[in-house]
Amino acid sequence: MARRLLALSATLALASGCPPAASPPQVAATEQCLRVISWNDLHGQLGADEAFIDTGRVPAGGVIALADHVDAVRKHGEPVFVVDAGDLFTGPMESTMSEGAPVIAAYAVLGVDAAAIGNHEFDFGPVGYERVVAQPNKTDADGPEGPRGALLARIADAKFSFLSANLRTSASGSPAWPHARAWTLVERGGFRVGVVGYSTRETPTTTLKPNVDGLSFDEGAPYVGESIRAARAAGASPIILVAHASIEGELPQDLDNPKDPRGDKHQGEIASLLDGLGADLPDLVVAGHRHAWMLGRVRGVPVVSSDQHGVGYAETRFCRGSDGRMSMHTLERHVAFASDPPRSDLGKRVAAAVRPWIDSVRVEADRVIAKVPRICLPQSANGTALAESIARAMLERSRKEGLVSKDAAAVAVVNSGGIRAPILAGPVRNRDLFAVLPFENALSTCTTTRAGLERALGNMAKKVSTRDRFPFGIAGAELRAHRTKDVPLVLDAINLFEGPAKDEVVIVMPDFLLYGGDAFLEGVTCSATRTSPVRIRDLYAAALPQLEAQGCDGAPKNVKID
């Protein structure tokens, strides 16, 4: 959104849509310098993102635009190293339907050197768009049929290393997952660059849980520290930690904050990880997961993150003096403004590399599904009519599919985190719905009690983020809640609209929630679970024409916050 740009520090280059100026900061003639280009959370974005979604002003982002900017940095003449902090996949139609293949092709042309494994790298499950979850008892040994078949195919195709030091198998004493590396060493222009990977410990609750069955993401610091020591012993300098994880609450925005020069006030997964590393610290952390602009120090270590969709990138310059000592010379963030056609030969070659996938879905992607009279926002502090309309479509479809009997009490719940973009006023194309609902979640149900329903909704309400973003859309019931200074959201009452007065209630939800996503069903006893092959995005597309008159904008009717 536009507010993201307002948070950028003075180091952000916003002067124009042109690449950075060709004159580097002055360094001693005896120094040798390396430039590290980094980004995070590309989410399959190939071309420029919708301006309203990210910059609010001009087209930016996408791997083609990033190629233009990387090309400009390489023209400085100093060696350039390129890393991605994870979540390469899941997003636009042309990328998602091919399970991330165009991103791998683009990165091969662009020259990406390493990437962290993010939680959404596991979204696709087995090979094949029609299959999101593997058949029971399948393992990685089953290759394309296994729970991570699509990811294994992308790793096999990649010319760069997928990294995660803390990605372990859940059995046999937690050895490393054999299909990824903990760290890598790359020689570039006289530098030996070490890169260590880290995957968020939230991965099992932020992707489809069956797709990470048999894997563990805990206890990151010992494994990351071990990898950093190994890289140092191999002569690596600098060492970059690409971590698909972030900071909670206030984000660092200044490298030289006189009130907190080491960034000791910051909390969250990155801070905890650095605390656990002791003296085995990296020279730079490239973070992701939160989709935020971030630049500053955490526990004394420079940390940078560049929003999402390739809208931004960071440029870090390490210089080595005649005495062999390495130091960080500059750390800047930039917006990756996009040009059509691309400005550089590299941008044109990346565009050519991904064009087959774009062309293969163009007709279906541009198909108009419906028209809506006003913009429908995905998230707000008090909920949105868009989230409620998705939940209502889920409830109606579940009865048509026979997942819920006509006389059963039922409530549909959709997690707000799965709704990633607004529906803009006017024609709504198929590609637009992929931006709104990018995840391959299927319609699911389970039967519980009214107390179980209250517990499930309470699990979502207790998140810190609910102060700024109401956590779900709901249909089939009215919910009353309030906020206090100390508690983000307190649920006061849940009143069902229909069904008998008996205690039993069916929860209709995305399979992401059924499998344990967002800890929705933690402590809840569910029985008679069922999953339909119908994706949430597809059932909402079928329901969208009904919204042409009433729209999906404004506040929800089923949520009342005092």
Please state, in angstroms and as integers, the Cα–Cα distance from residue 121 to each residue in 12, 30, 138, 163, 212, following that order.
29, 42, 18, 12, 10
What is the separation of C-alpha 160 from the centre of its chain, rounded to a whole number of angstroms? 20
Closest CA to 507 of 427, 417, 403: 403
Whether pLDDT at 312 is above 80: yes
Alpha-carbon distance of 30 to 62, in angstroms, equals 37
Strands 477-482 and 559-561: parallel
* DSSP symbol at 13: B
Alpha-carbon distance of 272 to 202, in angstroms, equals 14
Fold classification of 2-12+35-360 is Purple Acid Phosphatase; chain A, domain 2 (3.60.21)
The two three-digit tokens of residue 327, written as one number: 């130091």
**Ramachandran bin of 77, using left for φ above 0, alpha for ψ from -120 to 50, beta for the remaining angles:** left
Predicted local confidence at residue 478, as pLDDT: 97
Give the model's confidence band at 24: pLDDT under 50 very low, under 70 low, under 90 confident, else very high: low
pLDDT tens digits, one per residue of 405-460: 988 999 999 999 999 999 999 999 999 999 999 999 999 999 999 999 999 999 99
Element (H, E) at 33: strand 32-39
Q: ∠ CA(430), CA(433), CA(437), 5° rounding?
A: 145
* DSSP symbol at 364: H
Mean confidence (pLDDT) of the chain: 92
Q: 245: number of CA atoms within 13 Å, CB side?
A: 25
What are the residue ranges spanned by the domains of the chain?
2-12+35-360, 366-561
In three-state secondary structure terms, 66 is helix
Predicted local confidence at residue 11, as pLDDT: 38
Predicted local confidence at residue 465, as pLDDT: 82
Whether pLDDT at 52 is above 70: no
Average pLDDT over residues 281-297: 97
Three-state secondary structure of 325-360: CEEEEEEEEEECECCCCCCCHHHHHHHHHHHHHHHH
The two three-digit tokens of residue 140, written as one number: 């990685």
CB of 193 closer than 8 Å to CB of 81: yes
Element (H, E) at 305: strand 301-306
Predicted local confidence at residue 58, as pLDDT: 81
Average pLDDT over residues 493-508: 88
The two three-digit tokens of residue 288, written as one number: 């992701």
* DSSP symbol at 177: P
CB of 41 closer than 8 Å to CB of 361: no
As beta bridge partners, residue 302 has: 297
Average pLDDT over residues 252-264: 92
The yes/no answer on whether domain 366-561 falls in CATH 2.40.10.10 is no
The two three-digit tokens of residue 205, written as one number: 């609750």
DSSP string across 489-508: -EEEEEEESSS-SSSEEEEE
pTM for this one? 0.92
Alpha-carbon distance of 87 to 291, in angstroms, equals 10
What is the separation of C-alpha 282 from the centre of its chain, rounded to a whole number of angstroms? 23
Closest CA to 290 of 303, 281, 302, 280: 303
pLDDT tens digits, one per residue of 157-212: 999 999 999 999 986 557 899 999 999 999 999 999 999 999 999 999 999 999 99
Count of Cβ atoms closer than 10 Å to residue 239 Cβ: 23
User: What's the burial of 403, exposed, middle or buried (CB within 10 Å: 0-12/13-18/19+)?
Assistant: buried
Whether pLDDT at 269 is above 60: yes
Q: Which residues contact 540 (CB under 8 A, 6 or more apart)?
A: 389, 390, 393, 433, 437
